[in-house]
Structures are given as structure tokens and as C-alpha cells.
Structure 1
């Protein structure tokens, strides 16, 4: 089991070459790893051991009843939700079978949880897959091992010249490249929001307010409050099994079923609810940040100066004025991957070529 989880680390291992933001990496690295881990835990519990145990009669074999109730569905009685456990009902939602089917809350989702979590992990990786293909290894090819500061001086000089030549010759040609990445960030945010609604549909409209109801639970009267985790992920449910009698008359058997797997499901999804909220807020702030970068050259200059303090302010102003958004984005990514002193020399040389009269030296 531990070997499986160690393998997850290699599956979502982040490259040392940075081609995206740290918040974007949360989507395809940490979130994917969390979802796959939860999927493995649920799968292991579901297919190793009994995910459901039903109290049965001698007329029905145990395996038959358990398999039937797992494959079909179980249910609770809605009108029994407000009844006091231990006084009016034996367990939460467990009461006499209702005559009206609208009074039944049916549970069918539990056998699909492991598959749903795996599908969610794939969706979280899609924006990363798109950007990795669109980026095409550009940053890694332009680095030319310049992330290592200690290299022969002649080799360093030659590689710096090659990189400056590329940036100068291809100036104002990177907008479409940058906008593709911004689209992937928007897609990542849309994926979080879309998955929240997907989970809400999966749990019959219970997921969107799940975390809020759990937090509000502590403020309610202990005798009358309804635990949302028990309501959505009940540990004890009912199952109705029908079979033909000796003369093929209909026989109905009501069984009580324990769902130990829901003890895992409830903790999985309460964690995912809060994680989706955190991820959604961070991604929304990132989109506002991108909008500010797109519309304001002054902000782009400020970000270059604050992130790469070795750069001269005169050089930054020249680079921002003579380039476009896509070029700035390329400069920013290169600065995160190339040795800081080498990056300073490259940017100063590029600014000089772009018409700045100053011969930049050591800051």
C-alpha cells in the first residue's frame, strides 16, 4: 500500500523547469495527488473487505443480500430525520418503510466514488497537459544550462549571446504563446467551479453547502440538529429485498445495512470541500492579477523589478516599453529558471540593443 502512494509522487512530480505559476501547480500536482490518493483509499476499502454489511434473515443468503443492496441502492426515511435517535427511532433516518416514495432519500452514489475521484484527477490535469503541449519545451531549450552559474566563461558568453539574439530577433512574437497560458489558468479556475457543481449533482444538491452546514452544526441545539455528514454519508441505512415465495407470492424483506465505507467518504469530501474553496479563491485572485498584468505595463515593470532585484530600473523601463505582454511573460519565466547574474546580463544587453544609450555595468 505504501509503495502505491510513493508512486503517486513520481506520477505528479513537478519539473525543475518552471513554466507556470505556483498556484497553477497546485491544480495539477498537489490536487491530483490528493484525488488519486483518496481514490486508492476508497478503492482499497471498497474491494478489499465488505463495504456494506446488512442484517439478514436465514431466508436470504448473506452474500446475496449484501451484493443486492450494494448494487441497487439503500435509503433513509426523510420524515424520520427530525426524530430523536434512541427515543423515537433506532438510528438516524431509520423508520418504518414509507408508503410514499417521495419520503425516501435514496443513496446510489457510494459504488461510484472511487471512479468519480479518479475522473476528477484527470480533469485537474487537463489544463497542465494543454499548456505543456503549447509551451513545447521553449523555456528549457532557451535555458541552455544557464541555470548553472559555474560554467566556462567562453561557453557562458556564447550561450548568453545566443539567447539575447533570439529575444531580440523574436521580439513582439510571443503574445499568442502567453495568452495560451492565461487561458489555461482560466480553464483551471473553471474546472474547480465546474467540479463543485458536478459534486453537487453527484450528491443530489448537497455538496455546495456541505462545508457551511458542517461549520454551522456546532451552533445548533444538540438534541435537534441534523448532522450533514450523517445525512449525506449515512453509516446505517435500509434496504428492501423482494423475492418470490413458495407459490411465487411476493415476499418483502427490510434489512438494516451498515456502510463503513461512508466513514471514509465523509472525511474525503469535507476535506475536498474546503480544499476546493481555498483553490478557487487563490485561482480567482490569480486571474485578477493576470488582468492587471495584461492592461498595465507599469505593473509589468514593477513585477520585474520586485522579482529580479539585480536588474537596473532603466533597463526594466526600456524592456517594458519596447516589448509586448508575451515578451514580458517570457522574460519573467526565464528569470525564474536562469541564474540571476546571467539573467541580469542578458536583460541589460537586450535593453542596450533595444536602444537604451546606457552601457549597463554592475548595479
Structure 2
């Protein structure tokens, strides 16, 4: 395979996906952007290496003159008039019938691809300013997944990642009175910067795909919002370009020639073979954009709902800590309060989002082990003099998860004497 030096590396680095996103993000900035660049390359090859246009010229024109006419008509705009209609005599009428998009198709497709990638670039660049480097977190999580089960290396990597997240989330630090904006709290140890930035990026993906629809319609000169559906219906009903005027193959071109001080005006009939490719590409793009717009919008509202509602974040945290604390009847209330405090006081929206990324990209076992270690550290920080049983004191049962067993004495339960007992309820 022949590649251009340095171009391959730039292309791979540009379209390389990051580990802290979801499938819908990659649908936008990886798959859709790659498709747009691929179509731009295909059209460019036809325009600059093939024969995008061929014109019928008067018989007295020499071969060199014919080539000049084709180059001129391709650079300048041609105009479309149906065969059932007469060619207008007025220049203004011909100007209104001009089609001038085909020369710019590769450039516009490439610019649209860049627009799809911009939200991801902003996300990868700006998330570090919140003090939590997701790249580091995901790299450490991958090391945990690659380490042998129940090995010392695995335990060290779990402790390393847990300590890093605890430091980034200001674990165990005294917090000032938080500032609340809607459902998010801002303050030391209550970080919501990464979460709000991620929701903003999700909103940019939605805004981008809607903007893409507008650009597509304006570029093709169509004022009809559902252009793709109408074009598909026309093709299904056998209404070709001769009737609809969408991506016409045969157009007209005016050009002038100066001879002996006199200006001679000619009108040539040209075949735009490039439009056969453009029609298929843009028809596919329209329906692809529709699919991306629907799933991106649904994903945006789902993410906003998930990160905004405390109950959903608590549900995920309880799922990660399901095997960490024995959920016995006599300790059920204390367990729920401990997990709730851990979810909101330690993890916060940023911590929950980070663990969610780890779960989706590395696996549930890793995120449960990391969450269990952080939960044990949280309990220990509240009552450092208390004792607890961790994974290092429990024989390996094959689950590869840390457990914190609840003592039977009410005042030692979860080492949190202020937690209510069953009798309190």
C-alpha cells in the first residue's frame, strides 16, 4: 500500500478515539468524520484525476479549444434548463438557473468532517483544567485489567488508581460551603467541572449535526428541509434529474471568445458526470445525518438525565459496591446512607462519570474493585481507629472484588456510629 509520508500518521492521530467517551461520541467524531473525509477523497479523485465534465462544442472548434471550454465551464458555474423549456435569452434568468456547488464539494465535505471532530478536540483539551486527567485514569484502569487476577501487581494498580482519583476529587478534605447551580454543586471536593464540560460537549454534538443539515441544504441550493426524503421519493417513483433538477447531468455553459477584436458568445451543452457520484454521496449523507441526529439527541438527554438526577448516580454507585458491603437486613439503612454519602461527598458527578467511563471501556470488574477500594478508604478516613476487613484479609473467592464486612455490633456498623440502626426506622 502506497502512503504519503507523515500524512498517514496525522490521519491516524486525528481520528484516534479516546477512552473517555461513549459510542455516540465516537459515532460523531470518528465514524461520521471519517466518512466525510472518505467522500471528499473520492470526489477529489474524480475531479482532479478523472473527467468531471465533457462539453459538446461547435464543429469548427479544435481539440485544444474543446479542452479550454471544458476547463472553463467546470471552473465557472453552469446552469440547468429542462429539455422541455426554452433556453432563456436574459442573462439574469440564466444566472438564477446556475448550479455552482460541484466545484466545492471536496472542500465542503472536508470542512464538515472537521466540524464533527471539533467537540471531541475541545473535550480532550479542556477536561484537564478541572484537575482530573481522564487519560491517566483510563491508562491505569487498562493496567488493572491487564494484570493477573488476585496478583500483587493488580492490587498495587488498584491502590494507585484509587489514590489518584481520591487526590483529584479532594478526598477527605474539609469543604467550604458549596455553590449550587441547578442540580450541580461547586466546591472543594464537590467537583462538577468535568461533568458540566462533558454535557456541554454533548450539546455541541447536537448543535453540530443540526448545523450540518442547514449547511447541506444551503450548499445544494435547496430550501426544502426534508430534501433527502423528497429525492428518495422522486427516485423511487422514477422521477429522474430531467424532471426534478436535482444533481443534473446535462447542463449549459456560456463562454465568450475574443477574435480579431470582436467578442463571440457561445453556449455549450455539457455533461456533468461528477454529479452521478455527488447524487449518491449526498443522498447517503442526508440519511446518515438523520440517523446521527436522532441517536445523538436521545443520548444527550439521557446523559443529562443520568448526571443530573442523584437517584440514578446513587443506583450506579450501589451497583458498583454491591459486593463490597453485605447488604443484610439489620444493616440495610446504614448501608444505603454510607453509599449515598460516598456517592455525593466523595465521588460527586465527576467521580461517577469517571467510573462510568472505566466501566464502559475496561469492564465492570475493574470499576467495582476501584470503587470498593475508594469506599474502604472513605470509611477509614472517617474512623481511622476502627478496624475493617479488606480484600487482603479475605481468601480469594474468584470474584476479584474487595469486600467490607459489616460488624454485628450496632455501634461498629460501617464504623459510622451516627448512622441510624434498624430500630430507628
TM-score range (shorter-chain normalised) is: 0.7 to 0.9
Q: Specify the alignment match of 2:68 in structure 1.
A: 64
The structure 1 residue matched to 2:343, chosen from 316, 320, 327, is: 320
Q: Specify the alignment match of 1:101 in structure 2.
A: 92
Could you say if the C-alpha distance between residues 273 and 310 of structure 1 is closer, same or farther in structure 2, counting changes exceeding 3 Å?
farther
Q: Specify the alignment match of 2:209 in structure 1.
A: 192
Could you say if the C-alpha distance between residues 148 and 207 of structure 1 is closer, same or farther in structure 2, counting changes exceeding 3 Å?
farther
Counterpart of 1:232 in 2: which secondary structure? coil
Matches within 5 A, 1:1-363: 10=12, 13-15=15-17, 18-60=19-61, 61-77=65-81, 80=82, 89=84, 95-99=86-90, 101-102=92-93, 104-136=96-128, 138-142=133-137, 143-144=139-140, 145-150=143-148, 153-171=151-169, 172-206=189-223, 208-217=225-234, 225=239, 227=241, 231-246=245-260, 248-303=261-316, 314=335, 317-322=340-345, 323-338=347-362, 340-355=364-379, 361=403
Distance 2:364 2:243 in 1: 51
Counterpart of 1:205 in 2: which secondary structure? coil
CA contact (8 A) 1:148 1:338 kept: no
Counterpart of 2:280 in 1: which secondary structure? helix
Give me the TM-score of the superposition, normalised by structure 2: 0.71
Distance 2:228 2:211 in 1: 17
Distance 1:308 1:253 in 2: 80
Counterpart of 2:245 in 1: which secondary structure? helix
Could you say if the C-alpha distance between residues 263 and 76 of structure 1 is closer, same or farther in structure 2, counting changes exceeding 3 Å?
same
Could you say if the C-alpha distance between residues 311 and 251 of structure 1 is closer, same or farther in structure 2, counting changes exceeding 3 Å?
farther
After superposition, what is the alpha-carbon deviation per residue over 1:39-90, rounded to whole angstroms, capped at 9, x for unaligned? 110000001122110001144410111111111111013xx4xxxx6xxx3x
Distance 1:340 1:210 in 2: 44
The structural deviation recorded for 1:342 is 3.8
Moved more, 300-309 or 255-264: 300-309
Q: Which runs of no fewer than 5 residues in structure 2 stay unpaired?
A: 170-188, 328-334, 390-401, 406-425
The structural deviation recorded for 1:304 is 5.2
Could you say if the C-alpha distance between residues 204 and 338 of structure 1 is closer, same or farther in structure 2, counting changes exceeding 3 Å?
closer
The structural deviation recorded for 1:24 is 0.5
The structural deviation recorded for 1:303 is 4.4
Q: Which runs of no fewer than 5 residues in structure 1 stay unpaired?
A: none
Number of residue pairs matched by the alignment: 344
CA contact (8 A) 1:318 1:351 kept: no
Cα RMSD, aligned residues only: 3.4
Higher RCO structure (Cα 8 Å, ≥6 apart): 1
Which entry has the higher C-alpha Rg, 1 or 2? 2
Distance 1:69 1:44 in 2: 19
Distance 1:243 1:26 in 2: 51
Distance 2:42 2:155 in 1: 53
Distance 2:375 2:311 in 1: 17
